[in-house]
Structure 1
Amino acid sequence: MNQIKVTIGIPFYNPGEYFRESIKSILLQTYDNFELILLDDGSSDESLTIAQSFSDPRVKIFSDGKNLGLPARLNQIVQLASGEYIARMDADDLVALNRIEKQVEFLNLNHDVDLVSTGICSITNACNVMSVRLPSRVKNLNLTLNDGIKGTTEIAHATIMARREWCLRNSYDGNAKLMEDYQLWIDALVKGDLKAGYIREPLYFYREESSIQFDKVISAYKNQRKVIIEKYKNKVSFKVKLTFFISIELKIFITHILHKLGLMNKLISVRNRGTPQRADFHQVVNREIGKIKSFEGQL
């Protein structure tokens, strides 16, 4: 039996019926040397039953009935993983059917990077394309702590595939809920241990519409502010801290305005404004989603 090359980890907590298509989008990948770890975080809906409905031998399901939170489950996936590379994904999203193939190829060819991120296509809950967000470069081997603080690493957390040894060196802070990726990048950068690669294609389809919830967005901004004050205030210059705090306050103010106007989804357009919205990207995403939705075979 061949050594497993890739572990794909999906922690889940009440993702609902979206979960079925998320799993399908992995099992239909053009690259097949992987294990898929589905890690239940104490779900109370039918998602565990959905996970158990798949018979593919690459699927491994773990459920202990506890609700530990996303950071703890992401660390657990690293401990459970058999693969040389570890990819992650949220339980209600979809991915292009060649996502894993392209990321494996990138890491195989670029031994100087720790992880590879991809572009994102924001979609509605009904899988309609909203807009695309792409990284601006192919590599960044010189990311700084300031990049981490300001949130300019361009790493899209849910899209990453990382080398297992990097994941073992850089675990998530179990208390960093709603900002687990933000703190992960900063902690790695403090150690000088983050070299990133990027695939400038929208290989990850993010149900961002359902994530733009006012309370969740505001909490994430406030948590970022809190962690900089409590953990990193002596590691960055006064100028960087001042710029960061002004930026956070501005984001909170804008979010309050959009919430009052009933325009929270406008945040998606703001996040994706740096990428030209090409029709061919939208066509590719629609085609990939169509393949996933139309597949009716046994998996």
Structure 2
Amino acid sequence: MKSRAYISIGIPFYNTENYLEDAICSVLAQTYQYWELILIDDGSSDKSLEIARDFESRDTRIRVISDGLNKKLPYRLNQIVREAKYDYIARMDADDLMSNHRLEKQIKVLESNKEVDFVTTGCFTIGKNNELTGVRLGDNYQMNAKMILEGVTNLLHASLLARKSWYIRNNYDESRILAEDFDLWLQAAKNNDLNYLVVEQPLYWYRVVENVTVKKMIQGYDMQMEIINSNYKGIVSVSRKNKIIRRFRLKKLVVKYLGFFNLMSVLLKSRHDDCRDQDISDYDESYTEIKRIGLF
């Protein structure tokens, strides 16, 4: 009999007391139950660590790691790889949720496609109170280094399920804060080690209100431009690189303008499609189960 594939799920958290319980409950609600959950505290000063410890005390598959320090996301993501017991590693942000079927569908893809190193998904976008605000189904195509430099992406970083062996070959650069995923894809592509599939379904639920802010976007664009300036040689010409940089600078101006006039909702809406009736039904079914678990 074929042995069951186990997954190490990593959730780093920092001051997410308002959302962490629901994130953990969405793991507990998975139809695929062969996993460990690693909760890594990044020096929280609110009740996040207390919430994580409570879940740890109730389920032996959950373990909490806390050193009291604030080392930022890229460091914690590398730490998850080091701590993972199993050959598959799933990402999730502490303020997000996921469909009950996410792990089941993703692990099936990797088990059926041995040449593929990782798989991501589409997403629902959700608001502060878990209300459904939109959908992005994702597109299944392969990026190359030039596309990544151009700012083209079909990869949702937070929904990543990867083979541990790929992560060991492709560590996060811990200095690339707020653009660690951009750098990861680019370095892997440069090494001809970017072999993936995208499940074109909204299996991950992304909380845009916490993640798409003026400050984070500006800092992310600045870091992306630094990465582009350091990596363009051998991929694009100097003139093309300069054109890409000018485009990122224009993006910064647009974000600053929208932020100044309190119009960020316009940008958020442009980043997703309206939900269909079936999307709403699927979301409601999964979310009901997540909330049921949270009552216990």
Alpha carbons of 1:207 and 1:12: their partners in 2 closer, same or farther (altered >3 Å)? Answer: same
- 3-state SS, counterpart of residue 83 of structure 1: coil
**Aligned residue for 1:293?**
291
Q: Structure 1: how far apart are the matches of 2:275 and 2:103?
A: 24
User: Aligned AA for 2:190?
Assistant: V
CA distance in 1, matches of 2:166, 2:6: 15
For 1:10 and 1:73, how far apart are their aligned partners in 2? 9
Letter in 1 for 2:128: N
Residue 124 of structure 1 aligns with an amino acid whose one-letter code is G
Q: Could you tell me which residue of structure 2 aligns to residue 212 of structure 1?
A: 212
Distance 1:264-1:14 versus aligned 2 partners, 3 A rule: same
Change (3 A) 1:191 1:18: same
The residue type equivalent to 1:279 in the other structure is: D
Q: Secondary structure at the match of 1:65?
A: coil
Match of 2:174 in 1: 174
Superposition map of 1:276-291 within 5 A: 277-291=275-289
Q: Which amino acid aligns with 2:97?
A: L
Structure 1 segment 37-116 matched on structure 2, within 5 A: 37-54=38-55, 55-116=58-119
* 3-state DSSP of counterpart to 2:225: helix
Match of 2:235 in 1: 236
CA deviations on 1:10-66 (whole Å, 9 max, x unpaired) are 011111121001001001111111000001111111111101111111101111111
Q: Take 1:240 and 1:263, find their aligned partners in 2: how far apart are those partners?
A: 31
1:284 alignment partner AA: D
Q: Which amino acid aligns with 1:208?
A: V
Letter of the 1:85 counterpart: Y
With normalisation by structure 1, the TM-score equals 0.92
Structure 1 residue 297 displacement after superposition: 5.2
Structure 2 unaligned segments of length 5 or more: list them: none
Partner residue in 2 for 1:153? 153
Once the two structures are superposed, residues 195-239 of structure 1 have per-residue CA deviations (whole angstroms, 9 ceiling, x without a partner) of 11111110111111122221111111111112211x213232225
Contact 1:4 1:35 in 2 (8 A): no
The total of aligned residue pairs comes to 291
Alpha-carbon separation, structure 2, partners of 1:295 and 1:276: 28
Q: How far apart in 2 are the matches of 1:201 and 1:79?
A: 30
Tell me which moved more, 93-102 or 235-244: 235-244
Q: Deviation at 1:282?
A: 2.6
Is the deviation greater in 282-291 or in 235-244?
Answer: 235-244
Structure 1's consecutive aligned runs of 4 or more residues displaced over 4 angstroms after TM superposition are none
Would you say 1:252 and 2:255 are equivalent positions?
A: no
CA contact (8 A) 1:146 1:240 kept: no
Distance 2:155 2:15 in 1: 26
Q: CA deviation at 1:83?
A: 1.2
Q: Deviations over 1:145-173 (max 9, x none)?
A: 11221232301000010001000000000
Give the 3 Å change call, closer, same or farther, for CA 100–214 of structure 1 in structure 2.
same
Residues in 2 aligned to 1:255 and 1:296: alpha-carbon distance in whole angstroms: 37
Cα pair 2:43 2:68 within 8 Å, conserved: yes
Deviation at 1:276, TM superposition (A): 6.3
RMSD: 1.6
Which one-letter code corresponds to 1:262 in the other structure? N
State the match for 2:37 in structure 1. Answer: 36
* Contact persistence 2:133–2:274 (CA under 8 A): no
Q: TM-score, normalised by structure 2?
A: 0.93
C-alpha separation between the residues in 2 aligned to 1:102 and 1:95? 12
> SS of the counterpart of 1:172?
coil
CA–CA separation in structure 2 for the residues paired with 1:248 and 1:185: 18
Does residue 8 of structure 2 align to residue 7 of structure 1?
yes
- 3-state DSSP of counterpart to 1:132: strand
Residue identity opposite 2:182 in structure 1:
Y
- 1:191, distance to aligned residue in structure 2 (A): 0.5
Structure 1 unaligned blocks of 5 or more? none
